[in-house]
Structure 1
Amino acid sequence: MTETLALALAAVLMAAAPLVLATLGETLTEKAGVINLSLDGSILLAAMTAFAVAVTFDNPWLGMLGGMAVGAAIAGLLGIIGIFMGQSQLAVGFILTLLARDLAYFLGHAFSRLPGPDLGLWTIPGLAEVVGIGPILGSRSPVVHLSLVAVFLCWWWMYRTEAGMRLRAVGESPRAAFGRGIRVRLVRLWYCLAGGALVGMAGAAYSLAVKPGWGRPQGCEGAGWIALAIVIFGGWHPVRAALGAVLFAALQVSGIYLQEIFPSIPAPVFQVAPFPVMILTLLAVNMGRVGWIQDLVRRHPFLRRFSRGWSFDPPAALGQDFNPKKGL
């Protein structure tokens, strides 16, 4: 029983790792006040590029860098058009996700169903012998360890550094940040690129670790939209967003076990179930903005303590253009 639970937890962390990376990337971007809707296409194009580079050079880590470069490039396009040219971030992001998706399938046709290298496993000395943690993290894919480290680094950067304070400032009040000498547009572009690189790493994780190879469908379709929803679920906080990604992965993995327990229920039911559950959870989280629920929370000390550390509000300037020449 203990071994089965450890294997299940390891499977959840593996399934969650790319989602965690994509969610962290979008959290960084949106904290700076920019909405990047190109995630789904970016993940697909990065997955294809990562596998193509890995096959061509027989080096999966070079493939990982290729995927990150693609994610950063797409986010950079969004930044230039949306931040500096003042066009709609939502429209540009949506167009980019459709373009990137079609490019992934068109350019990746030559690599479809080919065998190729993957990232393999990392065995951390001494960790495998630790009771409880060893079977879960002792010898796992590098993307699992990278995603866990990325959660800590993003939290530390956002809430424990001066650069993180500037990041939150440009997302909450760009005019005030500009008045303090912060180059708002440049900071926003930087976090577009950084967030896009993490999204590209998520795409590479799918084709080099979670489901090695490239095909149509690849298996990561829709992951970008889920990551966008998880950012909202997590209240734009890296740790809570990562927990949301783990929750979604747990729903997916539990479907595999439930299918064995209830064989009479059609398999597609368990495959689709995580999506409506995540939607209902998202609706429940956003109910916190409703007036009568806020009054209920204020009247009950337990609910007030529970909700105190969980923000339901997006960055105040999310999606808003800023023109330093006009002060807007």
Structure 2
Amino acid sequence: MQEFALIMAGILLAGAPLVLATLGETITEKAGVINLSLDGTMLLAAMASFALASATGSAWTGALGGMAVGAAVASVLGLTNIYLGQSQLAVGFILTLLTRDLAYFLGHSYSRQPGPSLGYWGIPGLSETPLLDLLLGRQSPVVSISLAAIALCWWWMYKTNAGMRLRAVGESPRAAFGRGIRVRFSRLMACLAGGALVGLAGAAYSLAVKPGWGRPQGCEGAGWIALAIVIFGGWHPVRAAIGAYFFAALQVSGIYLQDIFPSIPAQVFQVAPFPMMIVTLLAVNLGRVGFVQDLMRRYPFLKRFSGSWPITAPAALGQDFDPKKGL
């Protein structure tokens, strides 16, 4: 049981940044905006967080700096798309290339240098329960923050008026505008909030999961995986978080499998989680394929399986909105 608790603790830590990034992108896409800059934003935020933490001696100041970087990058996407009508996909892709190169260029002097980390939080009372103490009591604070963020994001999105407005502008911006909702402003706020969470995810890598800065950092490609996990989770914060932990479990299992199968090159286990996540994503989306739908019409009992993990994108995802064109 102790070994199992250690494995689960590793999954929670490895999955924490992915959870934060997927929640941030879920919020953004629920408002109808696609942010493709996640991968570069996380790298730039990781670099900026470590640099700021090193300069100030405070890891928490660095984490706040990472959130500010994420929000700043997202604001560029929001302003150019929401108010200037530029392509979300083109701007997001350019931003991810720009921020990635900026991260490596500006962070060169901090490469392989010592710096502060967020350390560990001890939760009072868990020491009396050894398994829970191993699982949660000796963890980085990003684990607790990510778990709290899941519950808070779900509550805000589905139990508050602000969350209802967010979903409204992502489903039918014209109808929301007709109801008096400021569609463009709501989308911009969603971009900023989502970007801040993505920036915090980058900070979590350089200040907690893999403290330090260098090339490779350890979060390369994580932004693209977060985008895929949002689809896997059906644009639902809880299911997206499950997808993030699933990918983290694949990564952690690869570490243990290296010991079990020493003859297999270590690179195989490092790369394996990525194609496995793609296969899982394809399997989840299989219900949308034409021949599968034909089979479900012939054999109705198959619908039980296809509806167990619904994936429905916001109706206005990726669509621009101009209030001057009327309702």
- TM more than 0.5: yes
Give how far 1:308 is off.
Answer: 3.8
Separation of aligned partners in 2, 1:116 and 1:218 = 14
Question: In the superposition, relative to structure 1, how do residues 135 and 77 fare at CA in structure 2: closer, same or farther (>3 Å)?
Answer: same
Equivalent position of 2:117 in the other structure: 118
Deviation sequence 1:37-79 (CA, Å, 0-9, x none): 0000000000000000000000000000000000000000000
Residue-by-residue CA offset, 1:174-232 (whole Å, 9 max, x unaligned): 00000000000000000000000000000000000001011111111001000000000
| CA distance 1:131–1:306, change in 2 (3 Å) | farther
1:302: Cα distance to partner? 6.3
Identical amino acids, percent of aligned pairs? 75
Instruction: Report runs of 4+ in structure 1 exceeding 6 Å deviation.
Output: 298-302
Q: Deviations over 1:1-31 (max 9, x none)?
A: x111111110111100000000000000000
- Aligned length in residues: 327
Cα distance in 2 between the residues matched to 1:62 and 1:305? 49
Matched, 1:202 2:175: no
Q: By how many angstroms is 1:310 displaced? A: 2.9
Whether 1:281 and 2:280 are equivalent positions in the alignment is yes
Question: How does 1:287-302 map onto structure 2 within 5 Å?
Answer: 287-294=286-293, 296-297=295-296
- The CA deviation at 1:131 is 5.9
Q: Quote the RMSD (CA, aligned, Å).
A: 1.5
User: Using the alignment, how far apart are the partners of 2:308 and 2:72 within structure 1?
Assistant: 35
Matching of residue 220 in structure 1 with residue 223 in structure 2: no
Q: Once structures 1 and 2 are overlaid, which stretch shifts more, 286-295 or 204-213? A: 286-295
Q: Give me the TM-score of the superposition, normalised by structure 2.
A: 0.97
| Alpha-carbon offset, residue 298 of structure 1 | 6.4
Does 1:257 pair with 2:241? no
Alignment of 1:1-328 (within 5 A): 2-130=1-129, 132-294=131-293, 296-297=295-296, 303-308=302-307, 310-327=309-326
Matched residues in 2 for 1:238 and 1:302: separation? Answer: 28
Distance 2:11 2:147 in 1: 13
Distance 1:249 1:132 in 2: 20
Q: 1:295 to 1:160 in 2, by over 3 A?
A: farther
* Pairwise CA distance, 1:133: 2.6
2-structure distance, mates of 1:298, 1:203: 45
Unmatched segments (≥5 aa) in structure 2: none
| Contact 1:289 1:312 (C-alpha < 8 Å) held by counterparts | no
